[in-house]
Amino acid sequence: MEYNLLNRGYPTYYDMPTADRDLWFHQFARKENSEVPVDDSKLLRSTYTNKKTGEIQDPVIKEVLQLVESRKEEILSTQASMCEDGSCASSNTIIVEQLNNLVLEVHLNFFWN
């Protein structure tokens, strides 16, 4: 068990006070997930999708995800048009960091404008 941010060591996870458990868990999750970033749009979609109907019932989240998808398509079409002359390797993917920034931008614009 890692003790970097903890006041002292504990024999097991369950021997820790709740505050230290949370701190340790967040540190562990950050370390373990540093290599594989989470796709925020997929996370939102899976979190807010009704498992029985397969539909997103929250209208706000549904609209945010629709805006993200439309912006994603715009970015992909722009990338494709810039590479039509064959001078660059065309890619129809957006890296996860770009997509997460897009989700954040749409989410902030949606709620703060």
Q: What is the total count of domains within the chain?
A: 2
Same domain? 29 vs 52: no
CB 45 within 8 A of CB 65: yes
Q: What is the pLDDT of residues 3-45, one digit of tens each?
A: 455 677 888 878 888 877 777 776 766 666 666 677 788 888 8
Same domain? 71 vs 106: yes
Domain extent for 63: 40-112
Q: What is the pLDDT of residues 88-110, one digit of tens each?
A: 654 556 677 788 788 888 877 77
Distance CA 89, CA 67 (A): 27
Return phi, psi of residue 56, to 5°: -85, 120
Same domain? 104 vs 73: yes
